[in-house]
Amino acid sequence: MRERIVILTGAGISAESGLGTFRDAEGLWAKHRIEDVATPEGFARDPARVQAFYNMRRAEARTAAPNPAHFALAALEATQDVLIVTQNVDTLHERAGSQNLLHMHGSLTQAMCTSCQARWEAPLVMEVSDPCPHCGARHTRPDIVWFGEMPYGLEQIDAALQNATIFAAIGTSGTVYPAAGFVAEARRLGVRTLEFNLEPSAGQPLFDELRIGPASETVPNWVAEIA
């Protein structure tokens, strides 16, 4: 039977590709304050600091390569109905070949204008003084969803959960909402829920099954079982 699978991924699926997570001991939030680099207030206060933070993330993401977990999820699309909802702003899912993908927190490869709302492919290095290619205003920013901002695609995600037979969360600590609330919604709908992590996440009690181990091993094993 063809499964309808909604997969939420977090920084943990990109960890083995060499990209830092947020909350691990050496994580991003150990080195940068969320308030300074991942909020609209922080951007308003010091846009150069925020642009430098994302320029560093963008450069790192370009050097990273998809790992077996990304490739396994891309392969799964050939035999099952799959929607990947990623919290990640890297492009490793696309580069592994995934088509049905939603970046609910935006992407490092996208830029936007806060004057005219235009969006375009971000240059590797963004400067505060960059003019918008559409309206010319010098009000450009990374097209990334910061804390306090509305994530992308929530209606599409909810519709997919209503119709799902499986919900899987891979490499996410389950600490940021509304993404961390998807498992409760899936459970309320009677959808089978699986978690893939190195350790139980905050939402672990809500998952039917927990598969402990590095995603580059646990995800290909799971896909081999259900593909």
Q: If you search the block for the tokens 């695609």, which residue do you land on?
A: 153
Residue 51 as a binder of ligand BV8 (CB under 6 A): the answer is no
- Residue 10 binds ligand BV8, judged by CB under 6 A: yes
CB 193 within 8 A of CB 186: yes
23 — phi, psi (to 5°)? -110, 0
Shortest distance (Å) from residue 41 CB to ligand BV8:
12
Measured CA to CA, the distance from residue 208 to residue 193 in angstroms comes to 5
Q: What residues from 74 to 103 belong to the interface with ligand BV8 (CB under 6 A)? A: 87, 89
Q: Binding segment for ligand BV8 among 8-16, 109-117, 132-140, 184-192 (CB under 6 A)?
A: 8-16
Cα 166 versus chain centre, distance: 19
Using the minimum distance from each CB to ligand BV8, give the nearer residue, 5 or 144.
144
Name residues whose C-beta falls within 8 Å of residue 5's C-beta, 6 or more positions apart in sequence.
76, 80, 81, 82, 83, 164, 165, 166, 167, 168
* Residue from the set 179, 191, 194, 206 that interacts with ligand BV8 by CB under 6 A: 179
Contact code string over 192-211 relative to ligand BV8, x by CB under 6 A: -----xxx-x----------
Helix (H) and strand (E) counts in the chain: 10, 9
Active-site residue (options: 70, 93, 103, 105):
105
Q: Which residues in 25-44 contact ligand BV8 (CB under 6 A)?
A: 27, 38
d(CA 121, CA 110): 5
**176 touches ligand BV8 (CB under 6 A):** yes
Stretch that binds ligand BV8, among 44-52, 72-80, 140-148, 185-193 (CB under 6 A): 140-148
Phi–psi pair at 199, nearest 5 degrees: -155, 160
Known catalytic membership, residue 105: yes
Nearer CB in complex with ligand BV8: 4/68? 68
Phi, psi of 99 (to 5 degrees): -105, -45
- Residues lying near ligand BV8 in the complex (CB under 6 A) are found at 10-12, 15-16, 21-24, 27, 38, 87, 89, 105, 144-151, 154, 171-173, 175-179, 197-199, 201, 214-215
